Amino acid sequence: MINVVAAILENINGEVLIAKRKHGKIMAGYWEFPGGKVEENEQPEHSLVRELQEEMNIDIEVGTFVGESIYSYERGTIRLLAYRGKIINGEIQLIDHDEYKWITPLSLMNYKLAPADIPILKLL
């Protein structure tokens, strides 16, 4: 099982950040909460900070644990750990995504979310 982390980043308007996977990437076209793989011997919170720096060029403060989702894709099973967070420095620059949006939690259902992210949506 592969451990993956996701950030539920909220802005001052109560909107959350989602990003669409870039063409040519696994799960291209799906929207997701940003994050990535937890490296060996790495704490999930540290992984989340590192991944957001690498993928979006932002520094975040990791908040409370939201929950987890276990999902089996063709390429393997992932365990997604979601944490609330906020951006503390930087402007979003997309590297692994085509676009991003700040949306209300209620409107999340209107997007084609990655399957592993859907159980997290239900916890919000």
Residue boundaries of the structural domains of the chain: 2-123
Q: List the chain pLDDT tens, one digit each, 124 residues.
A: 999 999 999 999 999 999 999 988 888 899 999 999 999 999 999 999 999 999 999 999 999 999 999 999 888 899 999 999 999 999 999 998 999 999 998 899 899 999 999 999 888 8
Distance CA 100, CA 94 (A): 8
Pair 33, 120: CB distance under 8 Å? yes
Tokens 């690498």 sit on residue: 54
| All residues at 6 or more sequence positions from 25 whose CB lies less than 8 Å from its CB, including other chains | 96
Largest CA distance in the chain: 38
Distance CA 122, CA 124 (A): 6
Start-to-end C-alpha separation, the chain: 24
Fold of 2-123: Nucleoside Triphosphate Pyrophosphohydrolase (3.90.79)
